[in-house]
């Protein structure tokens, strides 16, 4: 017998209240620029066995922080786009000026645990709770504001993650692949909003995982946007694009991302390009 997940009810998108995003838009779009650090000598590191020169090893994370992230920042300035930035707190230890650069732009900082070698599924409830609390406190002290949103490590969650995030005061979590609209999840203490994030619009899944080229990734963004814009005539939708500078920040990939984002901005009068936190705050007043 299949056990019900219990976090949310079945409610088809055709039977939900219709509402608009600010400015009368029906598509809300956000960029999630994930900032992480990992070193080859960290216990349990996914790159521990990789040589320094391996593109999937420690050098890849270093490239993202030393080069790729700054190229992505240049692109954000070029296109005048806001961003939500999930930060692994190890970044604050190794390259804090990168986070300061996002704060200077007014970008939103979200929680994303510590180092890329950590894993959110395996710890006990006490360990995961401590991980969330430690991350929250460190980011709040650095940024001067407490993060409202959380992105799981690699987007996985333990069975209790929504409960622990709600109890820690988080308003929303990123990475929900079950819907195209923000939905409420039940927790042990009230509820938490889950924001959509399409798995195919994540460069880790599509470029690093499925081994598709950046041109194909950009085509996915364009096609997803065009179809989502068409579907939004019947109700509000969210389009989340998840980017990792160590991947998308390579020159041959960044040019294709620029093309896709320019395609979206050509219709900026019909979309709301904003942060995940702004989407969550608006949806909290309207989502069923």
pLDDT in tens, 222-250: 999 999 999 999 999 999 999 999 999 99
Task: Say what the pLDDT of residue 50 is.
Answer: 43
Indicate whether 199 pLDDT > 80: yes
Mean pLDDT, the chain, as a whole number?
A: 89
Task: Say what the pLDDT of residue 44 is.
Answer: 44
Task: Say what the pLDDT of residue 232 is.
Answer: 98
Kindly state the average pLDDT of the residues 173-195: 93
Q: Length of the chain in residues, anyone?
A: 288
Task: Say what the pLDDT of residue 54 is.
Answer: 46
Indicate whether 51 pLDDT > 60: no
Q: CA 73 to CA 101: how far, in whole Å? A: 8
What are the residue boundaries of the structural domains of the chain, listed by start? 19-283
Task: Say what the pLDDT of residue 55 is.
Answer: 45
pLDDT in tens, 122-177: 678 998 899 999 999 999 999 999 999 999 865 456 788 999 999 999 999 997 88
Kindly state the average pLDDT of the residues 171-193: 93
Indicate whether 79 pLDDT > 90: yes
Q: What is the CA radius of gyration of the chain?
A: 18
Task: Of 32, 61, 70, 112, give the one whose Cα is nearest residue 275.
Answer: 32
Residue 26 vs residue 56, higher pLDDT: 26
**172-176 and 84-87: which strand pairing?**
unpaired
Residues 6 or more apart whose Cβ sits within 8 Å of residue 275: 30, 82, 83, 84, 107, 108
Task: Of 174, 232, 176, give the one whose Cα is nearest residue 32.
Answer: 174
Given CATH 3.20.20.370, say whether it is the number of domain 19-283: yes
Kindly state the average pLDDT of the residues 9-27: 96
Q: CA 114 to CA 111: how far, in whole Å? A: 9
Q: CA 248 to CA 255: how far, in whole Å? A: 9
Residues forming beta bridges with residue 202, ordered by sequence position: 242
CB-based contact 92:98 (threshold 8 Å): no
CA distances from 122 to 137, 154, 159, 177, 199 (A): 22, 13, 10, 21, 22
Give rounded-to-5 percent helix, strand, coil for the chain.
Answer: 45, 15, 40
Task: Say what the pLDDT of residue 114 is.
Answer: 66
Task: Say what the pLDDT of residue 46 is.
Answer: 46
* Torsion angle of the four alpha carbons 196, 197, 199, 204, in this order, in degrees rounded to the nearest 10: -160
pTM over 0.85: yes
Task: Say what the pLDDT of residue 5 is.
Answer: 75
pLDDT in tens, 250-282: 999 999 999 999 999 999 999 999 999 999 999
Residues forming beta bridges with residue 176, ordered by sequence position: 196
Q: CA 80 to CA 83: how far, in whole Å? A: 10
| DSSP assigned state of 42 | S
Indicate whether 43 pLDDT > 50: no
Task: Say what the pLDDT of residue 198 is.
Answer: 87
Q: CA 125 to CA 156: how far, in whole Å? A: 15
């Amino acid at each position: 017998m299949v056990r019900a997940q219990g976090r949310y009810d079945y409610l088809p998108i055709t039977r939900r209240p219709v509402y608009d995003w600010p400015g009368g838009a029906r598509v809300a779009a956000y960029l999630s620029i994930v900032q992480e650090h990992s070193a080859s000598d960290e216990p349990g590191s996914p790159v521990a066995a990789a040589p320094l020169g391996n593109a999937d090893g420690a050098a890849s994370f270093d490239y993202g922080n030393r080069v790729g992230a700054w190229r992505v920042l240049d692109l954000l300035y070029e296109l005048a786009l806001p961003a939500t930035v999930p930060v692994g707190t190890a970044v604050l230890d190794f390259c804090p000026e990168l986070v300061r650069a996002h704060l200077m732009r007014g970008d939103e900082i979200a929680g994303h645990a510590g180092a890329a070698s950590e894993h959110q599924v395996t710890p006990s409830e006490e360990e995961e709770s401590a991980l969330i609390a430690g991350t929250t406190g460190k980011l709040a002290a650095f940024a001067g504001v407490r993060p409202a949103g959380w992105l799981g490590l690699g987007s996985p969650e333990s069975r209790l993650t929504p409960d622990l995030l709600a109890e820690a005061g988080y308003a929303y979590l990123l990475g929900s692949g079950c819907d195209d609209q923000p939905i409420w999840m039940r927790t042990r203490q009230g509820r938490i909003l889950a924001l959509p994030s399409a798995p195919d619009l994540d460069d880790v899944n599509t470029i690093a995982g499925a081994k598709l080229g950046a041109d194909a990734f950009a085509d996915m963004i364009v096609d997803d946007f065009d179809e989502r814009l068409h579907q939004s005539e019947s109700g509000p939708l969210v389009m989340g694009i998840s980017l990792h500078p160590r991947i998308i920040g390579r020159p041959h990939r960044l040019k294709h991302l620029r093309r896709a984002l320019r395609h979206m901005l050509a219709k900026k009068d019909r979309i709301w390009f904003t942060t995940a936190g702004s989407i969550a705050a608006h949806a909290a007043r309207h989502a069923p």
